[in-house]
Amino acid sequence: MSAALSSLHEALSVLDEAWADADCAADLSRAELMSTNAALGALKRRVDALGGAGRGADRS
């Protein structure tokens, strides 16, 4: 499995675990929010790296 797909799988697993018993975002603990944010951040960095130098920069 490629690094990007591994990161995607990890991020989705963290999201699934965090949201398993939550009905809304207010039901998530600070630790769950931090863990989810960290996993999504790692995924974004890996996907940005796939774009190559300069192409993966934030365009917002």
pTM, two decimal places = 0.60
Angle between helices 3-19 and 30-50 (to 10 degrees): 160
pLDDT at residue 6, as a whole number: 80
Per-domain residue ranges for the chain? 3-50
Place of tokens 């630790």: 31
List, for residues 4-60, the tens digit of each pLDDT value.
Answer: 678 778 878 888 888 888 888 888 889 988 888 888 888 888 888 878 755 545 555
Residue 39 CB neighbours (<10 A): 20
Confidence of residue 1 (pLDDT cuts 50, 70, 90): low
CA 49/CA 4 separation, integer angstroms: 9
